[in-house]
Amino acid sequence: MRKKAISSAAINALKNALTSIYWYKAELRSFIMHTISDPSILSKLNWNEYKRNIVSALIDFLARHQETHQNDLLKIMSEVVKITEFSHLRRLEDGTRCGVKP
């Protein structure tokens, strides 16, 4: 049975969420490494790029290959919606002004 593809709207929302939730590349990389089933995918990414470009490359790769990576996309989505605590953003300039409570 063929899986139904994840919508492009959901893919774009995931990109925006990951870019906003993880301000630093190291935190983003750690989250992805501990979430996807094949962490070797991380080696395909150019970590010298802007974070938005890294996220876009990763999610676009997974979305293009949903026949083998849809579970990873769903896992990332599932883990993102579980995040309810954003204290790691407090240390950023304007972190408390942007709604991150002390």
Look at residues 27, 2, 6 and name the one whose alpha carbon lies nearest to residue 72: 6
88 three-class SS: helix
90 three-class SS: coil
Mean pLDDT of all residues belonging to the chain: 85
Tell me the two tokens of residue 49.
């790029």
Q: Write a three-state SS string for 35-84.
A: CCCCHHHHHHCCCCCCHHHHHHHHHHHHHHCHHHHHHHHHHHHHHHHHCC
pLDDT in tens, the chain (102 residues): 557 889 999 999 999 999 988 888 988 999 999 999 988 899 999 999 999 999 999 999 999 999 999 999 999 999 999 877 666 555 655 555 555 455
**What are the domain boundaries of the chain?**
8-89
